[in-house]
Protein backbone atom coordinates (compact mmCIF):
# COMPACT_ATOMS: atom_id res chain seq x y z
CA UNK A 1 0.00 0.00 0.00
CA UNK A 2 1.21 3.45 -0.93
CA UNK A 3 0.78 5.76 2.11
CA UNK A 4 1.02 8.83 -0.12
CA UNK A 5 -2.13 7.98 -2.06
CA UNK A 6 -5.79 7.32 -1.33
CA UNK A 7 -8.63 5.63 -3.19
CA UNK A 8 -11.22 8.23 -4.18
CA UNK A 9 -14.84 7.66 -5.16
CA UNK A 10 -15.65 11.30 -5.80
CA UNK A 11 -14.77 14.90 -5.05
CA UNK A 12 -17.54 17.43 -5.35
CA UNK A 13 -18.71 20.85 -4.23
CA UNK A 14 -22.09 21.24 -2.56
CA UNK A 15 -23.81 22.62 0.50
CA UNK A 16 -23.26 20.80 3.75
CA UNK A 17 -26.41 18.94 4.68
CA UNK A 18 -25.55 17.82 8.19
CA UNK A 19 -24.18 18.93 11.54
CA UNK A 20 -23.54 22.40 12.90
CA UNK A 21 -22.15 23.51 9.51
CA UNK A 22 -25.36 22.72 7.62
CA UNK A 23 -25.88 25.04 4.66
CA UNK A 24 -22.24 26.06 4.28
CA UNK A 25 -20.46 25.63 0.94
CA UNK A 26 -18.31 22.53 1.25
CA UNK A 27 -15.97 20.45 -0.89
CA UNK A 28 -16.50 16.77 -0.15
CA UNK A 29 -13.79 14.16 -0.62
CA UNK A 30 -15.42 10.74 -0.57
CA UNK A 31 -12.95 7.95 -0.05
CA UNK A 32 -13.56 4.40 -1.24
CA UNK A 33 -13.69 1.25 0.83
CA UNK A 34 -15.41 1.90 4.12
CA UNK A 35 -15.35 -1.50 5.86
CA UNK A 36 -18.40 -0.77 8.01
CA UNK A 37 -21.88 -1.66 6.86
CA UNK A 38 -24.21 0.71 8.70
CA UNK A 39 -27.83 -0.16 7.96
CA UNK A 40 -28.59 3.51 7.25
CA UNK A 41 -25.70 4.05 4.81
CA UNK A 42 -26.63 6.06 1.71
CA UNK A 43 -23.24 5.75 0.00
CA UNK A 44 -22.96 2.02 -0.64
CA UNK A 45 -21.64 2.86 -4.11
CA UNK A 46 -18.40 3.92 -2.39
CA UNK A 47 -17.73 0.53 -0.81
CA UNK A 48 -15.82 -0.61 -3.91
CA UNK A 49 -14.14 0.83 -6.98
CA UNK A 50 -12.81 4.34 -7.05
CA UNK A 51 -9.48 5.53 -8.36
CA UNK A 52 -6.20 5.72 -6.52
CA UNK A 53 -4.84 9.27 -6.49
CA UNK A 54 -1.81 10.81 -4.89
CA UNK A 55 -2.33 13.30 -2.09
CA UNK A 56 -0.92 15.94 -4.43
CA UNK A 57 -3.57 15.09 -7.06
CA UNK A 58 -6.32 15.35 -4.45
CA UNK A 59 -5.06 18.73 -3.29
CA UNK A 60 -4.88 19.96 -6.90
CA UNK A 61 -8.46 18.80 -7.43
CA UNK A 62 -9.57 20.65 -4.30
CA UNK A 63 -8.06 23.86 -5.63
CA UNK A 64 -10.06 23.55 -8.87
CA UNK A 65 -13.25 22.36 -7.14
CA UNK A 66 -13.37 24.98 -4.41
CA UNK A 67 -15.45 28.08 -5.13
CA UNK A 68 -13.60 31.32 -5.62
CA UNK A 69 -13.81 33.81 -2.72
CA UNK A 70 -16.30 35.95 -4.68
CA UNK A 71 -18.79 33.06 -5.14
* Interface residues toward ligand SF4, by CB under 6 A: 34, 36-38, 41, 43
Nearer to ligand SF4, 23 or 35 (CB): 35
Work out how close the CB of 41 gets to ligand SF4 at its nearest, in angstroms, rounded to a whole number.
3
Work out how close the CB of 22 gets to ligand SF4 at its nearest, in angstroms, rounded to a whole number.
17
Nearer to ligand SF4, 41 or 62 (CB): 41
Q: What does each C-alpha distance from 25 to 10, 45, 67 come to in angstroms?
A: 17, 23, 8
Q: Which residues contact 23 (CB under 8 A, 6 or more apart)?
A: 15, 16
Work out how close the CB of 18 gets to ligand SF4 at its nearest, in angstroms, rounded to a whole number.
11
- CA 68 – CA 58 distance, rounded (Å): 18
Amino acid sequence: MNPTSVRITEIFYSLQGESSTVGLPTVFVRLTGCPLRCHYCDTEYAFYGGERRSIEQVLDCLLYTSPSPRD
